[in-house]
Amino acid sequence: MNDEQQPQFESAKSEVQRKTLDQREQMNELMRLRHSCAHILATAVLRLWPDALLDIGPPTDEGFYYDFELKHRFTPEDFPKIEEEMRKITKENQVFEKSIQTRAEALAYFEGKGQTFKVQRLGDIPEGEAISFFQNGEFVDLCAGPHVMRTGNVKPGGIKLLKVASAYFRGNEKNPQLQRIYGTAFKNKEELDNWLKMQEEARKRDHRKIGTEMGLFAMDPEYVGPGLPLWLPKGTVLVEELERLAKETEFQAGYVRVKTPHLAKEKMYKTSGHLPYYAESMFPPMEMLEEDERQKRDDLMERRADLIQLAEGMGKAISPNPSGYTEEQVRRDIQKLESEITLLGGRYYLKAMNCPHHHRIFAAEPRSYRDLPLRLAEYGTCYRYEQSGELFGVMRVRSMNMNDAHLYCTAEQFADEFRAVNEMYLKYFKIFGLDRYQMRFSTHDPARLGQKFVNEPELWKKTEDMVRQVLIESGINYVEVANEAAFYGPKIDVQVWSAIGREFTIATNQVDFAVPARFGLTYRDRDNTEKTPLCIHRAPLGTHERFIGFLIEHYAGNFPLWLAPEQVRVLTLNDEAPLVEYAKSITAELRSQFVRVEGDWSANPVKAKIADAETSKVHTMLVVGQRDLEAGAVSVRLHGKGNVGAKPRAEVVADLLASIRERRA
RNA sequence: GCCCGCGUAGCUCAGUUGGCAGAGCACGUCCUUGGUAAGGACGAGGUCAUCGGUUCAAACCCGAUCGCGGGCUCCA
């Protein structure tokens, strides 16, 4: 980001985030406190287990941690003992003293103590940078700070150790795993208690818990498989309501809908570039060849492997090849073999993304600039073989319905299209009452062109500039992070915060200037030349799975009327015939208007019927008795809000229909 | 995939030192006829994740596998 853009960026950002300097200062204060707590934790652990090896202990958004290696396996039973030692250290009111050491001094210190991880960390500090230490009491740590002045600034009641987990040294799965103790710290006990209460609320809202309680989805790892959710009837209502919202919104925005198969031949993913780089995250291929064809293919592949080896040898050879078989010829032969292999086909992959199928739809008919922008939308099911440890309820799954669309446009149309996509995001946020969000703009790293990112330096610059320009002009709250783009173009991930302040990455919006070319997609331009379109991938509602998981937590399962699986339940005071007739006529009327209504005219006591409807989180209960029957009225009770009194039947029906139609919050 | 923890009825969970498999909710049948969060009785429901081992005896101890959870790593 250059200097001219800086002020605009700042103002756009601060407008949405509304974070005052005072708040920033407070945050820094909290970070200092937590960082100091990490040191106090390490001090305490070393007192209790003097042979512990230390790695690092930074503050986090939620608290702090410190990584250790030692024989003793930490368990939560150790926490009271460690916490007590930590409190003792705060009472000792040790001063945090900073000192600068030479590299040699630092090295000698840690080597003398056998702190091998610290020695390695020391090696990470670039030459010429100051090597700073902080000491409190007997504990000395390699640390850039900052800290509070004294351990006494940490209030003993404001500290709590939370959990023990493991973490790889330097976050690399090839490195040894250390034991990480997580804790949190606040200015005082009251703030800590508030935070703990919040955590408790989050546990209550856990989408896995509510999903089971409300009968939204089920997991069947034994018969169906891990990460492959089954949507139960009530959950399917959510899926279909979201889909309807997307279809209506996209229709109004000029999208057209398409439908594509769940699998495709190997050639598809070779062309898209996903194979072999992402093969690991895809389900393994289905082999469709008969025995003799497979033999033929294996022979071809063997010949290809030989030629590749030969080509590599020729590439390295200094003197010319006496046989006259040039490297170029070898390369051509390899390509010939490859097309023979793909022609044989035989391998099918479940799709891990919809883009290639949509690209083939683009290619299915000749395109003119008059057809652009072409906006292809589909709620397509994708399959990704996520690592077992990554699965998480319906938030991270192996089969997912993506609210996907691909927008093919010219470079001139790009900015408008991109802006319209952003506006669609904002529209959705409003419907769901998401007032806190942030867009994360991921750009490429010029140093890794040709490896992680397609080697198109000019297109990268051009598209990134366009995206940045739109973000700034729209006044959208965003941050820019380098080196996290997709391999085919810059991307935007949308982070939203649920009603209880938890952060989720919910949507994605990506620019693709590489893959359309790989598929040879073109349109005929005004000047009668063939041009390659730009492509925008966008999924404002992400996947059904993750978005519904998020909504469950956001609403704590208390969905607005238009989304509620059971919108209305009619309850009778008794099971006498005239009353039941009246109740049935109300349900029939609502049902004919496509309201999801159920009736309960059993002889059970009305209190029990209400309790049952409340625990099922039915949005609106209509209680009818003799009084209502005579007056042509219904008594309305709202979930969680109680009785709101009797109203004329026609008025209540009209209200319900309007609330649903307008998707009121 | 890696480290640690956990798998008992549809759900939430008891189950003592290894000695007959339990409760509440939900479900079914019957009774109960009532005005805004729970009326009563009875009943059904289990290969204690799976496989193997130790033991006179295993839900309990040991091992493996599968699954789930907390993290790490990853997320086109």
CATH 3.30.980.10 assigned to A17-202: yes
Minimum-distance nucleotide, CA of A515 to C1': B76
Nucleotides of B under 7 A from a protein CB: 1-5, 11-12, 26, 31-39, 66-76
Nearest to A38 by CA among A171, A130, A148, A114: A148
Find and give the residue nearest to B39, measured CA to C1'.
A605
ipTM above 0.85, yes or no: yes
Minimum-distance nucleotide, CA of A606 to C1': B34
* DSSP class of A351: -
**How would residue A319 be classed by pLDDT, with cut points 50, 70 and 90?**
low
**How would residue A112 be classed by pLDDT, with cut points 50, 70 and 90?**
confident
DSSP SS3 for A36? helix
Rounded CA–C1' distance between A656 and B50, in angstroms: 51
pLDDT of residue A14 exceeding 60, the answer is no
Minimum-distance nucleotide, CA of A209 to C1': B11
Sequence-distant (6+) residues with CB within 8 A of A272 are A355, A356, A359, A515, A518, A519
Mean pLDDT of A138-162: 86
Pairing verdict, β A620-624 and A568-572: parallel
Q: What is the pLDDT of residues A221-274, one digit of tens each?
A: 888 889 999 999 999 999 999 999 999 999 999 999 999 999 999 889 988 888
Between CA A26 and CA A4 the distance in angstroms is 30
Cβ distance A505 to A494 under 8 Å? Answer: yes
Per-residue exposure over A401-410, b if at least 16 CB sit within 10 Å of its own CB, e if not: bbbbbbbbbb
Question: Three-state secondary structure along A470-517?
Answer: HHHHCCCCEEEEECCCECCECEEEEEEECCCCCEEEEEEEEEECCHHH
Name residue, tokens 């059970």: A604
Mean pLDDT of A88-107: 87
Classify A568-661 by CATH class. Answer: alpha beta
A615 touches strand B (CB under 7 A): yes
Per-residue exposure over A85-100, b if at least 16 CB sit within 10 Å of its own CB, e if not: bbbebbeeebebeeee
Q: Which of residues 336-355 of A touch strand B (CB under 7 A)?
A: 352-353
**How would residue A321 be classed by pLDDT, with cut points 50, 70 and 90?**
low
Cβ distance A582 to A629 under 8 Å? Answer: yes
Q: Which of residues 527-546 of A touch strand B (CB under 7 A)?
A: 537
pLDDT of residue A195 exceeding 50, the answer is yes
- Sign of dihedral through CA atoms A340, A346, A350, A354? positive
A62 touches strand B (CB under 7 A): no
Q: Which of residues 576-605 of A touch strand B (CB under 7 A)?
A: 576, 602-605
Q: What is the pLDDT of residues A443-486, one digit of tens each?
A: 998 888 877 788 888 889 988 999 999 999 888 888 898 888 88
Rounded CA–C1' distance between A607 and B38, in angstroms: 7
**A212 or A77, which is more confident?**
A212
State percent of chain A over pLDDT 90.
Answer: 44
DSSP SS3 for A380? strand
pLDDT of residue A21 exceeding 50, the answer is no
DSSP SS3 for A570? strand
* Angle ∠(A280,A281,A287) on CA atoms, nearest 5: 70
Rounded CA–C1' distance between A394 and B50, in angstroms: 25
A264 touches strand B (CB under 7 A): no
A518 touches strand B (CB under 7 A): no
pLDDT of residue A373 exceeding 90, the answer is yes
Alpha helices in A166-316 (DSSP H): 189-204, 207-213, 233-252, 266-272, 291-316
pLDDT given at position A318: 60
Between CA A238 and CA A243 the distance in angstroms is 8
Beta bridge partners of residue A523, listed in sequence order: A531
pLDDT of residue A108 exceeding 60, the answer is yes
pLDDT of residue A645 exceeding 70, the answer is yes
Peptide bond into A373 cis (omega under 30): yes
pLDDT of residue A17 exceeding 60, the answer is no
Rounded CA–C1' distance between A205 and B10, in angstroms: 21
State percent of chain A over pLDDT 70.
Answer: 94
Mean pLDDT of A523-541: 94
Mean pLDDT of A618-624: 97
Classify A230-264+357-434+507-555 by CATH class. Answer: alpha beta
A608 touches strand B (CB under 7 A): yes
